Amino acid sequence: MKIALAQLNYHIGDFAGNTEKIIRTIRQSAQSGAELVVFAELAMTGYPPRDFLEFDDFITKTEEAIHTIAAGCNGIAAIIGAPSRNLTGKGKPLFNTAWFLNDGKVQNLTHKSLLPNYDVFDEYRYFEPSADFGVIHLHGKKLAITICEDIWNINEIPMYDRIPLDEIIRESPDLIINIAASPFHYNQGLIRRQVLRENALKYKLPVVYVNHVGAQTELIFDGASMVCDDGGNIRKSLKIFDEELCLVDIDDSFYGAKPADEIVVPETVSDISLVHDALVTGIRDYFGKMGFSKAILGLSGGIDSAVTMALAAKALGPENVRGILLPSEFSSDHSIGDARRLALNLGCPHDLISIREAYSALEHSLDPFFSGLPFGLAEENLQARVRAVLLMAMSNKFGYILLNTSNKSEAAVGYGTLYGDMCGGLSVLGDVYKTDVYKLAAYINRENEVIPVNTIVKPPSAELRPGQKDSDSLPEYELLDRLLYQYIEKRRGPRELEEMGFDPALVSRVLRMVNSNEWKRYQTPPILRVSPKAFGMGRRMPIVGKYLG
Amino acid sequence: MKIALAQLNYHIGDFAGNTEKIIRTIRQSAQSGAELVVFAELAMTGYPPRDFLEFDDFITKTEEAIHTIAAGCNGIAAIIGAPSRNLTGKGKPLFNTAWFLNDGKVQNLTHKSLLPNYDVFDEYRYFEPSADFGVIHLHGKKLAITICEDIWNINEIPMYDRIPLDEIIRESPDLIINIAASPFHYNQGLIRRQVLRENALKYKLPVVYVNHVGAQTELIFDGASMVCDDGGNIRKSLKIFDEELCLVDIDDSFYGAKPADEIVVPETVSDISLVHDALVTGIRDYFGKMGFSKAILGLSGGIDSAVTMALAAKALGPENVRGILLPSEFSSDHSIGDARRLALNLGCPHDLISIREAYSALEHSLDPFFSGLPFGLAEENLQARVRAVLLMAMSNKFGYILLNTSNKSEAAVGYGTLYGDMCGGLSVLGDVYKTDVYKLAAYINRENEVIPVNTIVKPPSAELRPGQKDSDSLPEYELLDRLLYQYIEKRRGPRELEEMGFDPALVSRVLRMVNSNEWKRYQTPPILRVSPKAFGMGRRMPIVGKYLG
């Protein structure tokens, strides 16, 4: 059977745009000889449509779009993900459905059974899990249609109380099709291959897997759709971070294959180039889907703003990324020099606005209250906030989106000024630990010196008071990041961390910093997610919680 | 049977504090002759503990606390809500459990079956629903123990596919006990009474209902625990917004009662005093649980900051609420006069800091870029941001929490400056439409003029350019709020709104404003929730969504 895999970039709620793209793709698939074209989970609406699903009008528009598309399915069948109404009179009002379109109409609906409701996923908020299982017939073949999570319940301790393919397999399908909305994190590609391999081997069937590509605010979809044979050997891999329409003929060679080798998934970032490309995709699609083309950011001469600018220049074109140097009396000469050199290396426009005058005026206005009191945190924050006000003024005046440059280590421990350097429309590095920011810098510099070496080798500093260094207030990043990873990604509590060998005083200090800064992170811009546990929608912590606080 | 209802204010994750409070309450209950004392759902951890539940250490600490408490249950039994581990090897790792403690030990666990996963609730993120149903025996009586949502599935179209009491009733219980974590909204008290009435009548049993009281960041619990007889007549009501320990003897008079009248629940705010008291509770507990005592806010002379200050003065004491007047060249004389009068009426400290000098300095710094361009949004925002910088400097220097004064109408349409007047640690009025802010003002002034009448009668203005009025950019609030209510609370889409008689051009304009400002609301402080649909954790919309955008 000739199947076209349609790996596309949708825009949430853009029914006109998504419909046009889907119809065009069906036509192309038919022309190339495909008998079936497969689109991703909730392709019709984009993923995740979130609470738009609670609007009856939104569902009506979905149905109208699906029926328009179905009318064009002649000589070719299509599988498209979209919500559908639950008409059983029991449970949640919707199903998460694979619509099977053929002969100009909707022929069949297969509903998702396993609804992820953890991390960034809220599917049980909207959808009723299906308990009906069966195959779809097409040209004498039986297709086992599954939706993303439906094939993920293969662990020793299952997350759900059923395994859909254990039911469907009774009807002896010829092929597993899985339509997915599986967002990127640095190891997700390997985990997906592992899942496909295990399903292929368990059920002795080939698997056709179609994912989304492109970013929807914080969630980045890498695509990487694929087809494996019944031994779990990957026979076709689609592009990473790019659209592709790919025709695969599932012939006899996909059956009776020898078992593929097991896949080893490392613990942390195995390939920094994937993180790089994910962040570029995240920036590009955020701007594109918000209808903006130009970014602005503050350049400190430090590594976070340098890496952010390089990524943005890649995503938007260097001419569309404007750097503003905002020195204060505490800025060192190398900060200005390094920042300028970066902008010149990248070919980005850049300007300098001193914050001294505005800072002095604000200090003077506060004099009746602050006079006689020592310089402290309030004054440090004041500098960061003057910078933000100037950047936002430029943003408002000329239509830039301000990029936030905070990294995950800072965001974790609250080392940043709310309404100051924590500002921005999008946080580019908020899911990248400081030690990984260095890896990104090295990757960006892999061919030539884009980021000035001095930016990379000098000790990190916020430069908000004379001679300040990050290491005055924080543990060394190498140690801090290892501890944060265990606490945030692995959810290990204080006793476990001490058992792992971390110093109890350090554990207590760092965990207190993380938990007591929840109020600050609450007001952070959306963070491009590249790890299995990012701050934001996937990590939901109480603000007034006292545990470890 | 003599049952004590323990309506308490817990602090999320404060195991030491919560344990001490629970043990003290058990002792008091025993002394007053109670045979059983009932605490709320997840009382042990506070509600909602959110992703703390994913930490094994957090669950271990819960279990340790429960066993400490159980050891003191001699001569009295206790029901306490807390998570418990799912040891079945299938499904989510936890249950949401009513722990039954008696004779110095844990005697029985009843798990929650219906897990709310809508609006502000995420219970299916953590808990496995129970499919086991049974009664607990105590002194010859059979208790049907249920947890919050377990008794809410009584509608014609059920949200879940089972009804726990339909199962438990087979064991002929004598009494329904429901432990709850049911947050306040302006009609929730009436809805709860209705639910209790329907259960009492359906099963012909009295119901003992114990709720939380006090606020956990945005969620405010009103308490209002109660006992009704088997006719659904409320026989005992506990305090609203206050802790109470109340002993009720469920004797023969609770059986064979005549059916209570049906309860009519109005559509919108029926009693503004409840909203007032909820907001006072929300402010008080946010400060108390964050370990702060003093608030600061900007006073514009307008109604939003006036109402916010009055509520804060009630919650924290007038001496702990400092108002800062931050006039610009566009501020009218009455703004300053009205703001001063308000602070004097309330007895709150207040100061004036002119923003002119700082604003001029910032303008001057931007001159190389802005020179020759007309005054516009950037300059308007600049003023709001200078105010925020000054307020945050005071906050940082003297340990105030800045209160946000934006109302729900503004938050909905994006009529506010991000990092300007949208700043703050807590949004007091972000779930109160402008027209309801006026009702709050009238309620605050019910005995004498606290909020100057001029603040109430003058047309709303942001005063960011000469002669500006809100009505220049927005529809009249009376119309706007009616439309927003239908869109936000009732989730009616554009077609339905037009069918209701709203002007299509207005619908299109307002819905576009709401949807295109999602990025701004994402960075808003937590909003005290007083309606059935507040911005924040209960309303999850895509930022890059294009639907109606």
B474 within domain boundaries: no
A519:B370 CB<8 A: no
A378:B397 CB<8 A: yes
Q: Could you tell me if B198 and B90 lie in one domain? A: yes
* Inter-chain CB pairs, A–B, below 8 Å: 285
Give the Cα separation of A108 and A102 in Å (integer).
Answer: 9
pLDDT on residue B549: 52
Contacts of A539 in chain B (CB under 8 A): 51
Give the Cα separation of A223 and A43 in Å (integer).
Answer: 13
Structural domain containing residue A446: 273-469
Cis peptide before A48 (omega within 30 of 0): yes
For residue A409, give the nearest of A428, A388, A385, A435 by alpha carbon.
Answer: A435
Which of B442, B469, B496 is a domain's end point?
B469
The alpha-carbon gap from A406 to the nearest alpha carbon of chain B, in Å, equals 15
Question: Among B55, B365, B548, which would you mutate to test the A interface (most chain A Cβ atoms within 10 Å of its Cβ)?
Answer: B365
Distances (CA, A) of B238 to A384, B7, B31: 49, 8, 20
Kindly list the catalytic residues of B: 41, 112, 148
Q: Could you tell me if B299 and B245 lie in one domain? A: no
A393:B124 CB<8 A: no
Q: Could you tell me if B424 and B391 lie in one domain? A: yes
> What mean pLDDT comes out for the span A195-211?
97
Q: Could you tell me if B281 and B361 lie in one domain? A: yes
B385 within domain boundaries: yes
Contacts of A357 in chain B (CB under 8 A): 361, 364-365
The alpha-carbon gap from B521 to the nearest alpha carbon of chain A, in Å, equals 9
B382:A389 CB<8 A: yes
Give the Cα separation of B274 and B185 in Å (integer).
Answer: 9
Give the Cα separation of A258 and B519 in Å (integer).
Answer: 50
A390:B290 CB<8 A: no
Question: Among B284, B287, B389, B496, which would you mutate to test the A interface (most chain A Cβ atoms within 10 Å of its Cβ)?
Answer: B389
Please write the tens of the pLDDT for every residue from A470-507: 888 899 999 999 999 999 999 999 999 999 999 999 99
The alpha-carbon gap from B356 to the nearest alpha carbon of chain A, in Å, equals 9
Counted domains in chain A: 2
- Minimal Cβ distance to B523: which of A11, A49, A523: A523
B505 within domain boundaries: no
Please, what is the Cα angle at B540 between B534 and B542, to 5 degrees?
135
Q: Could you tell me if A248 and A277 lie in one domain? A: no
Contacts of A524 in chain B (CB under 8 A): 523
**A307 is written with which tokens?**
């890496």
pLDDT on residue A331: 83
Q: Could you tell me if A172 and A310 lie in one domain? A: no
The alpha-carbon gap from B385 to the nearest alpha carbon of chain A, in Å, equals 6
Please write the tens of the pLDDT for every residue from A58-95: 999 999 999 999 999 999 999 999 999 999 988 999 99
B203 within domain boundaries: yes
DSSP secondary structure string for all residues of A364-395: HHHHHHHTTSPP-HHHHHHHHHHHHHHHHHHH
The percentage of chain A sitting over the pLDDT mark of 90, rounded to a whole number, equals 92
Kindly list the catalytic residues of A: 41, 112, 148
Which of A469, A488, A507 is a domain's end point?
A469
Q: How many residues does chain B have?
A: 549
pTM of the predicted protein model: 0.97
Contacts of A83 in chain B (CB under 8 A): none
For residue B347, the domain's CATH number is 3.40.50.620
Question: Which residue of chain B has the CA closest to A524?
Answer: B523
Q: Is the pLDDT of residue A157 over 80?
A: no
The alpha-carbon gap from B247 to the nearest alpha carbon of chain A, in Å, equals 30
For residue A42, the domain's CATH number is 3.60.110.10
B366:A390 CB<8 A: yes
* Contact status, residue B188 vs residue B157, Cβ threshold 8 Å: no
B544:A286 CB<8 A: yes
* Radius of gyration (C-alpha) of chain B in whole angstroms: 26
Residue A467 CB partners (closer than 8 Å, separation 6+)? none
Please write the tens of the pLDDT for every residue from A412-425: 999 999 999 999 99
Q: Could you tell me if B174 and B288 lie in one domain? A: no
A261 within domain boundaries: no
Q: Could you tell me if A78 and A192 lie in one domain? A: yes
B47 within domain boundaries: yes
Q: What is the mean pLDDT of each run of 10 residues along chain B (549 residues)?
A: 98 97 98 98 98 96 98 96 95 97 97 97 97 95 98 83 94 98 97 96 98 98 98 98 98 97 91 98 98 97 97 98 94 90 98 96 97 96 98 98 98 97 98 98 98 94 86 93 97 96 97 96 97 97 85
Where residue A315 falls among pLDDT bands split at 50, 70, 90? very high
Q: Could you tell me if B85 and B40 lie in one domain? A: yes
Where residue A237 falls among pLDDT bands split at 50, 70, 90? very high
Give the Cα separation of B10 and B19 in Å (integer).
Answer: 10
Q: Could you tell me if A239 and A295 lie in one domain? A: no
- Minimal Cβ distance to B49: which of A52, A496, A542: A542
User: Residue A77 pairs with which residues in a beta bridge?
Assistant: A36
B361:A360 CB<8 A: yes
Q: Could you tell me if B158 and B228 lie in one domain? A: yes
For residue B153, give the nearest of A95, A91, A54 by alpha carbon.
Answer: A91
Which of B428, B449, B469 is a domain's end point?
B469
B396:A418 CB<8 A: no
The alpha-carbon gap from A210 to the nearest alpha carbon of chain B, in Å, equals 22
Contacts of A94 in chain B (CB under 8 A): none
A493:B357 CB<8 A: no
B508 within domain boundaries: no
Contacts of A355 in chain B (CB under 8 A): 365
pLDDT on residue B41: 98
Q: Could you tell me if A342 and A392 lie in one domain? A: yes
pLDDT on residue A225: 98
- Minimal Cβ distance to B394: which of A117, A369, A491: A369
A360 within domain boundaries: yes
